[in-house]
Amino acid sequence: MRSTGTQWAAVSAGVLLASLITAPTAQAAENGTAVAPTTRIDQKAVGWQPCEDLDPVGDAKLECATITVPLARTTGGERVNDLAETVEIALSRVRATGTAEHTMLVNPGGPGSAGRMWAAHTHNRMPAELRETYDVVAFDPRGMGASTPAVTCDPDFFTPVRKDTVPADAAEEDALRQDAEAYAAACAEGAGPLLDHMRTEDTAHDMDAIRIALDLEQVDYLGYSYGSYLGTVYSSLYPDSVRAVILDSVVNPDNPWYESNLVQSRALDRAAHNFFAWVARHDDTYGLGTDREAVADAYYDLRAELRENPLDDTVGPTEFEGAVIVVAYSGNAWPAVAGALAAQVNDDDPAPLLALHDSYGDDADSDPGYGGYLAVQCTDAEWPGDWQTWRANAEAVHEDAPFMGWHNIWYNAPCATWEGESAPWFQIGDGPYEHPAYDGDVLIVHATGDGATPVEGSHALRGRLPGSSLVIEDGGITHGVALTGNTCVDETVVAYLQDLTLPERGVEGPDLTCDARPEPQPRTAQSAPHAPVDRLGPIGLETTR
């Protein structure tokens, strides 16, 4: 699943004062599940220093640090000969304004996203009563952001104008396949042994190392998007290490990444049609058509035109898709995207569309995030090895969901030839070879119109977590709901974090339904907003970025 958003620069300003040593491999239990490795902390201290590479957010005062953890966390990894090899995890913290009673560990999604800025974002989103009692800690997952070593592949991959993601013939399809294979090979060359140790399970073990380094018996956890899957895995491996768990915009636990991306492409298409319908309702502002189909036609006509005549040698159809996908993640982006479409279609003015690409599109700086995304997705689960399967699924999903059907396939296509060692999907449950699900209290939150992670995933996860309660934002159109302004949802989140009170669990979900926030109002802004958007976008199955 593809997550996209603002990428923040990475050079850790922290000082390493914690040394972590773990058993090199997990031991298989009788039922086939893995036992979490034992972690010994030689020095439980984190050297917090002022962050030198992160800009402040609001009035939050960020501190940074690093800890060192073993490279080999799970079984596998034939290219690792030295079991003492390590990686550094970059951390950030915003202290409680009063006496810290709890610590919130937060992950904004991805995979591939640097996470340290989210300590400040989360702190600022919290109401005063939570800021007073919570330290908020965020981290760049292994291989990403300021954590080292980092996954690097090929920044030139994103040089515009890229090939159209919808191949017109076999020759174009073959050229796209060659690009995907070359990118996978570049990642193998650039990241080396790290690629065998980038699974979600590896990061979950790193999270418990963070908890131990902070000298905490338990942490609270808030995970958005892919962060929901990370939290599901972490709470399964370390059930005694968590106090409160909030999983927002949930990855379906029953769909490994390849299957999940196919489902996601259809959800992205539904979200795009919600956007087209909104534009049609405001035809007096945008002039793109008075019904959803007319607006969709205007969008696809523009896409076809960009194939023949890219804007400023910068925005062709693939760059166009990479920027416009934001409408499936955030309703707040709808006015800017609609304004950019209208300016180009009606006035032949490319400036807003170029600005949209500058804010949300891919460029050379996208390489670490894309490589990190693939490093996790390609090894978290098994992928089809024969291209015929990929093509058949691509053609079927494109027929049903052309908005991102082929785009999502190519975004994940490097997984077809990925060199990192893959493992079976970390499935929670009580069946053979499944990992025991966390049975403590969990709050699950989801919007019904989320395009990046279809809402069905939250219902599936609720069924696998016996202590969970599901809160639905009915009619919500934004990927990421908790602490974003819906009073009904936020009051539920605050009550849970303060005294572990959850909505009463019924026979089936949802356990609480909240009305959606008002839809955005139209405007004719001539530039794209620069607010960070985390999108779990095209991944081949669903999305990422």
DSSP H or E run through 23: none
CA 131/CA 349 separation, integer angstroms: 45
Provide, for the chain, the percentages of residues in helix, strand and coil under a 3-state DSSP scheme, each rounded to the nearest 5.
40, 15, 45
Q: Specify the pLDDT at position 491.
A: 98
Q: Specify the pLDDT at position 168.
A: 97
**Pairwise pLDDT comparison (394 vs 37), residue with the higher score:** 394
Summarize pLDDT for 267-277 with one digit per residue, the tens: 999 999 999 99
Q: From residue 124, how far is each of 106, 130, 226, 493 by CA, in Å?
A: 13, 10, 22, 15
DSSP 137-149: EEEE-TTSTTSBS
Local structure of residue 435 (DSSP, 8 states): B
Exposure string for 33-65, b = 16+ CB within 10 A, e = fewer? bbebbebeeeeeebebeebeebeebeebebbbb
- Mean pLDDT estimate for the chain: 88
DSSP 298-338: HHHHHHHHHHHS-BTTTB-HHHHHHHHGGGGT-GGGHHHHH
225 is catalytic: yes
Span 505-523, mean pLDDT? 95
Structure confidence at residue 57 as a pLDDT band (50, 70, 90): confident
CA 290/CA 296 separation, integer angstroms: 11
- Out of 164, 206, 248, 450, the active site residue is 450
Residue 507's Cα: distance from chain center in Å? 30
Summarize pLDDT for 462-489 with one digit per residue, the tens: 999 999 999 999 999 999 999 999 999 9
Query: Which residue type is seen at 467?
Result: G
- Contacts with 389 (C-beta within 8 Å, 6 or more apart), sequence order: none
**What are 139's strand-pairing partners?**
91
Exposure string for 426-460, b = 16+ CB within 10 A, e = fewer? bbbbeeeebbebbebbbbbbbbbbbbbbbbebbbb
Q: Counting beta carbons within 10 angstroms of the beta carbon of residue 499, is it exposed (0 to 12), middle (13 to 18) or buried (19 or more)?
A: exposed
Whether the Cβ atoms of residue 464 and residue 500 lie closer than 8 Å to each other: no
CA 136/CA 138 separation, integer angstroms: 7
- What is the SS3 assignment for 86? strand
Q: Specify the pLDDT at position 539.
A: 23
Which structure tokens are listed for 211? Answer: 């908890």
Summarize pLDDT for 374-389 with one digit per residue, the tens: 999 999 999 999 999 9
Span 33-42, mean pLDDT? 41
Structure confidence at residue 84 as a pLDDT band (50, 70, 90): low
Query: Which residue type is seen at 314?
Result: T
CA 193/CA 81 separation, integer angstroms: 9
- Out of 441, 469, 479, 534, the active site residue is 479
Which structure tokens are listed for 477? Answer: 């159109």
479 is catalytic: yes
User: Which region holds residue 225: left if phi is over 0, alpha if psi is between -120 and 50, else beta?
Assistant: left
Q: Specify the pLDDT at position 1.
A: 54
Residue 545 pLDDT > 90: no
- Contacts with 506 (C-beta within 8 Å, 6 or more apart), sequence order: none
Span 237-258, mean pLDDT? 98
Q: Specify the pLDDT at position 345.
A: 98
Of 70, 10, 2, nearest to 372 by C-alpha is 2
Portion of the chain with pLDDT greater than 70, in percent = 86
Portion of the chain with pLDDT greater than 90, in percent = 83
CA 120/CA 498 separation, integer angstroms: 20
Structure confidence at residue 73 as a pLDDT band (50, 70, 90): confident
pTM comes to 0.89
> How do beta strands 39-41 and 20-22 pair?
antiparallel
Residue 204 pLDDT > 70: yes
Place of tokens 């572990």: 500
Summarize pLDDT for 305-318 with one digit per residue, the tens: 999 999 999 999 99
Query: Residue 146 half-sphere exposure, CB side, CA atoms within 13 Å?
Result: 24
Q: From residue 273, how far is each of 141, 280, 408, 543 by CA, in Å?
A: 34, 10, 17, 17
**Pairwise pLDDT comparison (59 vs 21), residue with the higher score:** 59
249 is catalytic: no
Angle at 435 between CA 432 and CA 437, to 5 degrees: 120
- Out of 3, 12, 225, 330, the active site residue is 225
CA 537/CA 377 separation, integer angstroms: 12
Q: Counting beta carbons within 10 angstroms of the beta carbon of residue 11, is it exposed (0 to 12), middle (13 to 18) or buried (19 or more)?
A: exposed
Residue 409 pLDDT > 70: yes
Q: Specify the pLDDT at position 543.
A: 33
Which structure tokens are listed for 93? Answer: 């913290």
Q: Counting beta carbons within 10 angstroms of the beta carbon of residue 471, is it exposed (0 to 12), middle (13 to 18) or buried (19 or more)?
A: buried
Whether the Cβ atoms of residue 71 and residue 205 lie closer than 8 Å to each other: no
- What is the SS3 assignment for 245? strand
Q: Specify the pLDDT at position 359.
A: 94
Q: From residue 416, how far is each of 36, 167, 381, 411, 518 by CA, in Å?
A: 29, 18, 12, 11, 42
Length of the chain counted residue by residue: 545
Which structure tokens are listed for 205? Answer: 């073990």
Structure confidence at residue 39 as a pLDDT band (50, 70, 90): very low
Q: Specify the pLDDT at position 56.
A: 82
Summarize pLDDT for 425-438 with one digit per residue, the tens: 999 999 899 999 99
**What are 220's strand-pairing partners?**
104
Whether the Cβ atoms of residue 532 and residue 114 lie closer than 8 Å to each other: no
**Pairwise pLDDT comparison (410 vs 385), residue with the higher score:** 410
Which structure tokens are listed for 22? Answer: 């773990």
Summarize pLDDT for 332-370 with one digit per residue, the tens: 999 999 999 999 999 999 999 999 999 999 999 999 999
Structure confidence at residue 523 as a pLDDT band (50, 70, 90): confident
